[in-house]
Amino acid sequence: MKIVALAGGVGGAKLVDGLVQSLSPQDLTIVVNTGDDFEHFGLTICPDLDTICYTLAGIANPETGWGRSEESWSTYQELKRLRAPDWFQLGDRDLATHLERTRRLIDGESLSQITAYFCQIWGVQHPVLPMSDDPVQTWLLTDEGELPFQEYFVYYHYQPIVRDIQFRGIEKAKPAPEVLGALNQADVILFCPSNPFVSIDPILGLDGVRKACLNHKVLAVSPIIGGKAIKGPAAKMFEELGITPSPVAVAQHYAGLLNGLVMDNLDAQLAAEVQQIGIRTLVTDTLMDNSLARYNLAQILLRAIESGEL
C-alpha cells in the first residue's frame, strides 16, 4: 500500500518515524512543509525539512524534536559574545546543514536535489520531498503586526494573537518535481498530526495538491487531543480564529478532502460528531511520547486502512 504523508515539524516527524518502521521506501513518501523556511545570517534555514530528516536519520535532538542530538554550541556562544541575534538557537552540527544547503542553493541546485543528497549522506532511505522548490513564506498577521513564521513562533513564542495567515509566493510556487506524481500514485494521502494552518495548509495551497487529494483516500491524525495541541500554537490558532479546538474542528478544517480521522481516546465522545460530517473515525491512543508509541500508532493506522475501517 502506497502512502504519501504530508508533514510539518515535530508532530509530523513522530508519526513519520513510526511509519518508516512499517513501510518500505517504495511505499512511503514524505512531503514536507517549507513555509517555515527563512533566511538567517544569510543562510537558508529549512526547519521542517531538517526536523523530518534528522528524525528519520536518528540524529534529531530527542528533547526538543528539532536540531541535532550530540550537539555543541561553540559558535552560538561566540555569536552571543558578539551580541549577534541569538533568539534562534543554531548548534554547530546544525549549522553545517544550513551552510552546505545555502552553498548548494547559490550554486543552482534545487531544494529537492539538496534534500535527496543530504538524505543519502544521513542514511535516510524513504523519499523526503520539499513541498516546493520555489519560495513560499508563511506570514502571521497578528496584533503585533505582520510576522514571518519563525519570528512569530520562536522570537514571540507564538504569543501574538493571529488574525490571518498568508503563504507569500504560493500563487507562483509549483509542487516540487516528484510531489504530484507521488500523490497521484498513492493509495492513501495522510495528513500527519502537524499544525493544520501553518504546516498542512501551505502544502494544500500548492497548485494541483487539493485536486490530487480529491481523487484519493485522505486520512488525517488529529493534532488536537483533549482540546490542546501536544506542542505549538495549533489550539491557540483555532481559538483566535473563533473555533473551539477539537478533533471536530480539525475534521471541519479539512472537510471536503477528508475521508477518515484518527482521534485520541480522550476525545472518543466526539467521534459521532465527526462521523456526522461524513468522515470515518478511528479512536485510539495517539500520544506518541516514545518510539514504541510511534510504531504502535503507525501499525494501528495501517491495520485500520487494510481492514477498511478507515
Tell me which residues touch ligand FO1 (CB under 6 A): 8-10, 36, 47-48, 50-51, 66-67, 88-89, 94, 150, 153-154
CB of 124 vs ligand FO1, minimal distance in Å: 15
3-7: strand order across its sheet:
128-130, 28-32, 3-7, 188-191, 217-221, 260-264, 280-284
Q: Which of 35, 31, 13, 7 is nearest to 150 (CA)?
A: 35
Strands 137-142 and 145-148: antiparallel
CB of 166 vs ligand FO1, minimal distance in Å: 17
CB of 176 vs ligand FO1, minimal distance in Å: 18
Closer of 18 and 223 to ligand FO1 (Cβ)? 223
Contacts of residue 41, defined as CB under 8 A and 6 or more positions apart, other chains included, come to 84, 85, 90
Closer of 78 and 306 to ligand FO1 (Cβ)? 78
3-state secondary structure of 145: strand
Closer of 63 and 107 to ligand FO1 (Cβ)? 63
Q: Enter the DSSP assignment of 9.
A: S
Cβ atoms within 10 Å, residue 202: 27
CB of 206 vs ligand FO1, minimal distance in Å: 18
User: Could you give the CA distance from residue 159 to residue 155 in angstroms, rounded to a whole number?
Assistant: 10
Q: Enter the DSSP assignment of 87.
A: S
Alpha helices in 231-270 (DSSP H): 234-240, 247-253
CB of 94 vs ligand FO1, minimal distance in Å: 6
Contacts of residue 215, defined as CB under 8 A and 6 or more positions apart, other chains included, come to 184
Closer of 43 and 277 to ligand FO1 (Cβ)? 43
User: Could you give the CA distance from residue 198 to residue 195 in angstroms, rounded to a whole number?
Assistant: 6
Contacts of residue 274, defined as CB under 8 A and 6 or more positions apart, other chains included, come to 247, 248, 251, 261, 263, 281
User: Could you give the CA distance from residue 79 to residue 95 in angstroms, rounded to a whole number?
Assistant: 13
Closer of 59 and 266 to ligand FO1 (Cβ)? 59
Closer of 52 and 251 to ligand FO1 (Cβ)? 52
Closer of 154 and 293 to ligand FO1 (Cβ)? 154
CB of 294 vs ligand FO1, minimal distance in Å: 17
Closer of 50 and 201 to ligand FO1 (Cβ)? 50
Place of cell 495541541: 229
CB of 10 vs ligand FO1, minimal distance in Å: 5
- Point out the residue whose Cβ comes nearest to ligand FO1: 9
CB of 191 vs ligand FO1, minimal distance in Å: 15
